[in-house]
Chains A and B, each alone.
Chain A
Amino acid sequence: MSRFSKLLSLSQRALPRKSPSHLSRPWTGCCAASSRLFSSTASPSSQEPSILKSSSPASSTAAAPATGTTTMETPTVARAKAALEAISGTHPIYMDFQATSPLDYRVLDSMLPYLTGVYGNPHSRTHEYGWEAEKAVEGAREEVAAVIKADPREIIFTSGATESNNTILKGVARFYQNRKKHIISVQTEHKCVLDSLRTLQEEGFDVTFLPVQTNGLISLDDLKKAIRPDTVLVSVMAVNNEIGVIQPLEEIGKICRANKVFFHTDGAQGFGKIPLDVDRMNIDLMSISGHKIYGPKGVGAAFIRRRPRVRLSPLLSGGGQERGLRSGTLAPPLIVGFGTAARLCREEMAYDHEHISKLSKRLIDGLLAIPYTSLNGDPKSRFPGCVNISFSYVEGESLLMGLKNIALSSGSACTSASLEPSYVLRAIGQNDEDAHSSIRFGIGRYTTEAEVDYALANVHNQIDFLRNLSPLWDLVQEGVDLSTIEWSSH
């Protein structure tokens, strides 16, 4: 690149800098660049400033290519310029960390050897390709186990938390179905848990879905009353993916252990983010997801306790891999990535938690400053990275449409396709209008203060805009109680 930089310095001395565009085409080769440089005096640069301003919140579309510059532009140069302008500052910021998280570059670095040279099947016992892949898988297993203080032999790798939930719920229920037929869960569980339990109901099991209080937590008395002599399993998720509340896992574990009932927790959102100790909390089964902890998508794990042993009948039959509980070839790249992500979580849990808490407080304070807003979920027992706020007198879909420069979600990714308001918000007692106008902000390891401030500014503007349009808002401002209005029917 020394040739190019020499030409560049030449041009900078020879010509006045009309526009920054002549700096931006290193890949078209030095000759084209040099001819372009010396002709740049002829081309007007009026288009450049407007394109640089394209990052303002009002204009969210990509800027059109500058048609003002003329003459000596080859098609390659024009296309390159348009490409640069299209990617300059128009991509939305990411605030949906509960849906998924970006792959940490350290995780990718650890995965690459297994996607290139180390490609053996970890179950091949007879040659070095297999041995080195197996060593990597076992190393990852230890890392994952260390996060929750489990034994590595208690971790089995699956394709994600959904598969882990299915394996655990259906497997444990079916194994013990001769003597025990009752399962307890919560109304706010993840869709895969609810759906697995629905399938089990059709197979003849009895399932009790515990209600939650308005703060999103279950009542321990309800749980104690619901346990029967034939209860096999209690399933309560650690951190809710929509409202971020943390259930009282230690107390639930104590109750379950006292009643000899297995305690399963869906730890997809909580693993690596809040300290989870399977012995202290008496957790017998846990589902873990790889892509929520800055790891690759398509991998997860299930923790299945060995002492006292939890038996389950496997979902997948085959070669007997993973203690016979989950047959199928393991994917060393994904698992090594998962292991690295788990190790990073364990090492940086305190640091990340402090950073996320700081940003979360900033975000919540800024959003609750808007009148008629409320935070969903318990304000104390919560994971700070998941902030779910309801904005009254604003339509949720139009709010999201107006916030196109921020990647947000109103409810979980699994249910956002349907038009129904989120069942989790309904379970905590919200009325349908507020449930529709709820937005979930996700904060993660990579979120910066600038992004939070940008989100706050945008949300303030959009709320003001939408409320000013709304006649209901005018009524509210006048002090009219909307529930007393008798709407005339036509």
Chain B
Amino acid sequence: MASNRQTFVHLYRDLMKTAKIFPYTYREYTLRRTRDKFKELKNVTDPSLVHEFEQEARHLLGVVQRQTTLNGMYNKRNLVVENTDNAEVNVKKSFENASQL
């Protein structure tokens, strides 16, 4: 169903965009996990399972939104493997995010 596919595309995009503000550990994990979870979704045909997936994804989006803000407010350390150019931008973004509350 076209509308359902768009829902998932939007969910995926929102999850990936919000998770980019996380600190390194959570960010890499969330991006990887979301990518793999949505890849698994392609094989799911049962409509009730698809609906359940959508509910879980929406809930996760809320969690990620809350937690990115929280992490931006408390100690934000950049790891040695992080690209320091991006690190500055990430810190700025999470401060911005926090001040929007």
Contact = CB atoms under 8 A, between A and B. Distances in A.
A64 interface: no
Given A1-B99, A405-B80, A446 B29 contact: yes
Name B's interface SS.
Answer: helix
Interface of A: 1, 20, 23-24, 26-27, 51-55, 57, 60, 84, 87-94, 102, 105-106, 108-109, 351, 355, 405, 445-446, 448, 450-451, 454
Contacts of B95: 26-27
B10 interface: no
Interface string B9-21: 0000000000000
A27 B99 contact: yes
Contacts of B99: 1, 26-27
A89 B82 contact: yes
Contact of B91 (A24, A55, A448): A24
Q: How large is the interface on B (under 10, 10 to 19, 20 to 34, 35 or more residues)?
A: 20 to 34
Contacts of B67: 105-106, 108-109
B78 A87 contact: yes
A397 to B, nearest CB: 21
Nearest to A108: B67
Given A23-B92, A89-B84, A446 B28 contact: yes
Interface of B: 22, 25-26, 28-29, 32-33, 36, 60, 63-64, 66-67, 70-71, 76-85, 87-89, 91-92, 95-96, 99-100
B81 A93 contact: yes
Contacts, number: 92
Most buried by B among A51, A53, A445: A445
A89 B80 contact: yes
14 contacts: A24-B92, A27-B95, A53-B84, A54-B84, A55-B82, A57-B80, A84-B88, A87-B91, A88-B84, A88-B87, A92-B80, A105-B71, A108-B70, A351-B33
A445 B29 contact: yes
A116 to B, nearest CB: 12
Nearest to B29: A446
Given A24-B92, A105-B67, A445-B29, 20 more contacts: A20-B85, A20-B88, A26-B92, A26-B96, A27-B99, A51-B84, A55-B84, A88-B91, A89-B78, A89-B80, A89-B83, A93-B80, A102-B25, A105-B22, A105-B26, A105-B64, A106-B67, A109-B67, A446-B28, A448-B28
B96 A109 contact: no
